[in-house]
Amino acid sequence: MGEYVDYINYLFAYFRKQFTEKSRTIVFFFILMLFPSVDTKMFFGFLIILFSLISDIRHKRIDLLTFLPFTRKMIYWFEFLFLMFLVFLSSMVSLPFYDKLSSGFADLLFVMIFIAGYYGLIIILSMLGMDGVAAGFIVFVIDKMLSSFSAFKYYSFISPSAQGNKLAALIFAAVVLYFGQVMFEKKGGER
């Protein structure tokens, strides 16, 4: 039981660190994510990904985080939970502006799958040596292209942005998240 309490304390410390260091950026994107539109939430969620751990990787600040009591695995998953927290919170605040409650929760699920898939893919490409911001935009462009071409219609089922099949997209996002974590640990968070 004590081990779980330690992880919760570490998670709160990580959240506090993020809110302290990146408060202006977080507040800016959070306010913009309050619009009750899935496309708006996806776009600003994408930008939050680029300004979060990807920014730390780009500016070689991961080693500074490991001086705190965080392992690389904890950094990866805490950042993911932090992103999910921001998406969840912005969705709950904007929920009254939806016509139906079910539409708000459907958008929340859509954006969470999107964030999970993109976060994993961008981390994987960053760990392969690509710049995080460039990787983000490459993932975005390729994802949009492949999911819109009829020749790749089966890709749209697992696409984080199209989500033709929610279950398939969720499984794809979970697999990508796992491989992102493995690569992040293996490479030590450095490009």
The pLDDT tens digits along the chain (191 residues) read: 678 888 899 999 999 989 998 899 999 999 999 988 899 999 999 999 998 888 888 877 777 777 778 889 999 999 999 999 999 999 999 999 988 999 999 999 999 999 999 999 999 999 999 999 999 999 999 999 998 887 778 899 999 999 999 999 999 999 999 999 999 999 876 65
CB 143, CB 159: distance < 8 Å: yes
CB 177, CB 119: distance < 8 Å: yes
Number of structural domains the chain divides into: 1
Residue 160 structural domain: 2-187
CB 46, CB 132: distance < 8 Å: no
Q: Report the b/e string of 10-30 with b at 16+ CB within 10 A.
A: bbeebeeebeeebeeebeebb
- Polymer length in residues for the chain: 191
CB 180, CB 123: distance < 8 Å: yes
Two tokens, residue 39 = 């496309």
DSSP state of 159: -
Task: Give the phi and the psi of residue 88 in degrees, each rounded to 5.
Answer: -60, -45
Q: What is the pTM of this model?
A: 0.93
